[in-house]
Amino acid sequence: MPLKLSDATVSTFDSVFEKFRAEAPKNKVDLILFLADKDPSTSLSWCPDCVKAEPVIYKRLEAAAGDVALLRAYVGDRPTWRAPKHPWRVDSRFKITGVPTLVRWENDAVKGRLEDYEAHVENKIDALVSGN
């Protein structure tokens, strides 16, 4: 199953998201993964939950049947993310409260989500992908 990846930052999100939405009808499932930025000195995310969840998420998505599109949306560094007015915290479509957050995007709306405390749980990832 091909996993189609695209990446966006806060500043590039709108244009990347429009392309992602335009491609949506071609995919079995469309997901958005909100992640913390990587620390340039370590190449690891500053968020321990992201470090834990990312490899599990990729493993489960690669095992899924059908085309899966994953938009990785990087929230910024820790101070940027902590700001109460972070664009994705206040965006009525997403209302992100923690990272990582994995959302299923379907019919131009969030149809399911895994919050930071559960985004690494394999059976929950599988259920989100299958729409259950």
Give the catalytic positions in this structure: 47, 50
CA–CA dist 77, 61 (Å, integer): 26
Strands, E assignment, the chain:
3-9, 29-35, 38-39, 44-45, 68-74, 101-106, 109-114
The torsion of the CA quartet 96, 99, 104, 110, rounded to 10 degrees, works out to 0
Stated as kind and residue range, the H or E segment containing 65 is none
Of 27, 7, 48, whose CA–CA distance to 105 is shortest?
A: 27
Q: What values do phi and psi take at 78, rounded to 5?
A: -60, -50
